[in-house]
Amino acid sequence: QVELVESGGGLVKPGGSLRLSCAASGFSFSDYYMSWIRQAPGKGLEWVSYMSSSGTNIYYADSVKGRFAISWDKAQNSVFLQMSSLGAEDTAVYYCARYSTSSVLDLWGQGTLVTVSS
């Protein structure tokens, strides 16, 4: 079964760090580009980060640049999002998603909730 499963969310204090994981099954990450997208409670979707299949091209939204880092592990067939210097504005459900050959997000995980609060 082709799916993405995120984990690692939780409650973290302002200024803290958290590492999200996204495990793929049914396909290999090395064949696809991947992104993280987030959605604050009751709000719309915001693209956060992108990584090409080779890992060569990596991009971040201005709102997270310098604080978040995307990476992947071939052996684990997983993508990660390392988040640091977290603030209340980072509170959101974080989704990982896969790009199709048409460059759109055709497979999404179920999301993992990150809450930044003291």
Which residues make up the interface to other proteins (CB under 8 A)? 35, 44-47, 50, 59, 95, 97, 100, 102-106, 108-111
**Shortest distance, CB of residue 26 to other proteins, whole angstroms?**
16
Burial class (CB in 10 A: 0-12, 13-18, 19+), 37: buried
**Shortest distance, CB of residue 3 to other proteins, whole angstroms?**
11
> Which is closer to other proteins, CB of 90 or CB of 109?
109
Q: What are phi and psi of 29, to 5 degrees?
A: -55, -35
Closest CA to 28 of 60, 64, 75: 75
**Shortest distance, CB of residue 97 to other proteins, whole angstroms?**
8
